[in-house]
Amino acid sequence: MQLSTSEISELIKSRIKDFSVSSEARTQGTVVSVTDGIVRVHGLSNVMSGEMIEFPGNTFGLALNLERDSVGAVILGDYEHISEGDVCKCTGKILEVPVGPELIGRVVDALGNPIDGKGPVKTKETDKLEKVAPGVIARKSVSQPVQTGLKAIDSMVPIGRGQRELIIGDRQTGKTAVAIDTIINQKGQNMKCIYVAIGQKASTIMNVVRKLEENGAMEYTTVVSASASDSAALQFLAPYAGCTMGEYYRDRGEDALIVYDDLTKQAIAYRQISLLLRRPPGREAYPGDVFYIHSRLLERAARVNEAYVENFTKGKVKGKTGSLTALPIIETAAGDVSAFVPTNVISITDGQIFLESDLFNAGVRPAINAGISVSRVGGAAQTKVIKKLGGGVRLALAQYRELAAFAQFASDLDEATRKQLERGKMFTELMKQAQYAPLTVSNMAITLFAANNGYLDDVPTEKVLSFEKALHGFVASKYKAVVDSIEKSLALSEDDEKKLTKAIEDFKASNAY
Amino acid sequence: MAEISTVARPYSTGIFSLAKETKKLAEWSEILHLMATVINNKDMLAFVSDPKIVDEEKEKLLIDLMGKGLSKEGINLVKLLIENKRLGIVATISKMFDELKDIDQGTIEADLVFASKPSKEEVDELIKSLEKKFKKKIEANVKVDEDIIGGTIIHVGDTVIDASVKGQLSSLAYNLKA
């Protein structure tokens, strides 16, 4: 027999002592119908929208539709034991989830219950699931970077702390891989991570958790899981639950990163609930407020100023800004970004990373389409060194795309055009990166420095990546001072530049690649 | 699909305003109770909802059956309900009519559940305090249910005042678990 912590005699004593014996007045109703997790209740005249309703068997529901003669509610969890005629009652509360650092390293469901078999989560606080995002006065512009460790993203579509950057692409284009790599790279960056899995296979979630554990990322990560077999209500609520857990850090002057994988499935779950509640369907059968479910969620990802944090913590934390960075994921069908949900989320977020099947199949991984991927606010947050060196990549790739159509006439082209084509090809190759192998800022700077200054122009395309790897090893062993200097200042001084030039020349002379 | 109460509402308000005009509230209440009892009989319900039986036959049987209890308007109501194929909602119409009547007369129905048979004084005192709380005249139905162990549970509309030992025990259990 297991004993839980709530059974300590002192605790029981105090709880019994504090328990006030008074009559309880409440409103109750009768279940009229139960259909696929949606119940209609007669009565409950005082119920509020979004209020929790208690059903028999310690089951709770969420009142969503308040109509003239009935209340439509969605059951959270199992609903098989609820039948017509059951009595339910108002609780006067709205849904809350546990929050706090105790959740780190844990896998929980959409209501914050642990599902990883590591025992109860001993959080001290709970917080509301649905909250209003901070207003304009409480905000501060994005100015600190989130290092994803991916060359293609950090140099071309930089992400700042407090930004919402969409990852969009067809199935099997490496969307989750980009997000997981970003989480793995947050080690030692003072960033708490939350990964919200919505409507995914339990085996996929399990693999993600295992990969995070293997890479030591579970030390600062919480996984919120609403798998494909969980009810639509839980899949709909999981992102809000994850967001509340992330806001805990934001409001206390810390930085957090949240990945919603993926919001398409959340919209589908919400569509199911809405249709069962008999709300009128609109475009693609989504209800009228499908934009709002995503906008109110993503608006909560923000950077808040010192005054907000100080006010929130009642003066305990001073002079610190907090942030919640969101990486929502959207899955498109056959590259169709003009479908309803993708256009909505594109318009809500501060930029998007486009992943393409064609590039993925051609071996360009991460399969980022540099032409249509943008970051609207991240430029202000980019580290100085990457900002200085990264500009060339975008330009080279843009010129390459323009000229790519002529590539087949290679022999007839003039020298300048051919050179540009080759440079573009080299940069495309250079932007490839293996999974679970994020790069440090200094290594990224070394790579970009070498490429910008033409040291890679005479390297055969297929050897570019091995050149890069060997160069990183060489500089780290023989010119450690440069690496340390870049890591410390996150900028490239003239002195560093000279040393780096010498290092690369030495390396090329050694012919070690 | 509309809710039954949504369908029943226009009937009950219509009957109520007619009854009020002609000052026959109590009479109509009885007619509706009678109709609800007759139609809610299992065999009767099967008969009136059988599509193979023509409307005239249903009408004849129902009017014959309730004959003396029905006024001229009552017979018209039966005909109207048969024509609109709404015989099945008579019980709801009757219930809503009673609610409208209660509101009009400033009374409200209350179920008082006790653990053991209460004395008349106890019930009277409780009704007095309830009348003060709800500012309406209370029509009380007293029930005894040993399951609640002690105390009382009061149902007024969809408001429940739980002052039973059972309710307190279960909220203590919830408090200990939380």
Better-scored residue on pLDDT, A510 or A255 = A255
Confidence of residue A1 (pLDDT cuts 50, 70, 90): low
Encoded amino acid at A155, one letter? S
Please give the share of chain A, as a percent, with pLDDT higher than 70: 96
Per-residue pLDDT, B1: 47
CB contact under 8 A, B158 and A28: yes
Is there a catalytic annotation at residue A139?
A: no
Mutate which: A69, A126, A276, vs B, most B CBs within 10 A:
A69
| Closest to A239 (Cα-Cα) out of A171, A190, A300 | A300
A29 contacts in B (CB within 8 Å)?
158
Q: Are strands A303-304 and A255-261 parallel, antiparallel or unpaired?
A: unpaired
The helix or strand, by DSSP H or E, that contains position A52, with its residue range, turns out to be: strand A51-55
Residues of B at the A interface, defined by Cβ within 8 angstroms: 3, 5-6, 151, 157-163, 167-168, 171-172, 175-177
C-alpha to C-alpha distances, A156 to A151, A388, A389, A441, B23, nearest whole angstrom = 8, 12, 10, 14, 83
3-class SS of residue B94: helix
Say if A43 is an interface residue toward chain B (CB within 8 Å).
yes
Encoded amino acid at A402, one letter? E
Q: Taking the CA atoms of A410, A415, A416 and A419 in sequence, report the sign of the dihedral they define.
A: positive
The ipTM is 0.75
- Residue-wise DSSP of A312-369: HTTTSS-S--EEEEEEEEEE-STT-TTSHHHHHHHHHSSEEEEE-HHHHHTT-SS-B-
Per-residue pLDDT, B5: 84
Per-residue pLDDT, A404: 81
Close Cβ partners of A118 (under 8 Å, ≥ 6 residues apart): A106
DSSP-derived letter for residue A164 is B
CB contact under 8 A, A24 and B162: yes
The pTM of this model reads 0.88
CB contact under 8 A, A23 and B163: yes
Among the ranges given (A19-23, A72-76, A349-353), the one the predictor scored with the smallest mean pLDDT: A19-23
Per-residue pLDDT, B13: 92
pLDDT in tens, A359-371: 999 999 999 999 8
Phi and psi at residue B146, to the nearest 5°: -70, -20
pLDDT in tens, A219-259: 999 999 999 999 999 999 999 999 999 999 999 999 999 99
Query: Could you say which of A252, A296, A376, A418 is catalytic?
Result: A376
Across the interface, of B160, B163, B176, the residue whose CB is closest to A6 is: B176
Confidence of residue A7 (pLDDT cuts 50, 70, 90): low
Per-residue pLDDT, A21: 64
B172 contacts in A (CB within 8 Å)?
16, 19
CB contact under 8 A, B176 and A89: no
Confidence of residue A510 (pLDDT cuts 50, 70, 90): confident
C-alpha to C-alpha distances, A137 to A65, A249, A322, A348, B69, nearest whole angstrom = 33, 19, 14, 20, 72
Average of pLDDT values for A379-408? 86
3-class SS of residue B154: strand
Per-residue pLDDT, A19: 67
Q: What is the dihedral of CA B136, B137, B139, B143, to 10 degrees?
A: 70
Residue A384 clears pLDDT 90, i.e. is over it: yes
Per-residue pLDDT, A398: 84
CB contact under 8 A, A43 and B158: yes
Distance CA B53, CA B44 (A): 12
Q: How far is A22 from chain B (nearest CA, A)?
A: 7
Q: Taking the CA atoms of B1, B3, B4 and B10 in sequence, report the sign of the dihedral they define.
A: negative
Per-residue pLDDT, A139: 96
Residue A395 clears pLDDT 90, i.e. is over it: no
Residue A2 clears pLDDT 70, i.e. is over it: no
CB contact under 8 A, B3 and A6: no
First and final C-alpha spacing in chain B: 40
Per-residue pLDDT, A494: 92
Better-scored residue on pLDDT, A191 or B118 = A191
Per-residue pLDDT, B6: 86
Average of pLDDT values for A104-121? 95
Residue A331 clears pLDDT 80, i.e. is over it: yes
Ranges under pLDDT 50 in chain B: 1
Average of pLDDT values for A105-127? 94
Residue with tokens 């509101």: B103
Select, from the ranges A3-7, A131-135, B153-157, B160-164, the one with the highest average predicted confidence (pLDDT): A131-135
Residue A513 clears pLDDT 80, i.e. is over it: no
Q: How many CB atoms lie within 10 A of CB A125?
A: 10
Across the interface, of A19, A26, A40, the residue whose CB is closest to B175 is: A19
Phi and psi at residue A122, to the nearest 5°: -95, 60
Helices of type H across A129-189: 151-156, 175-184
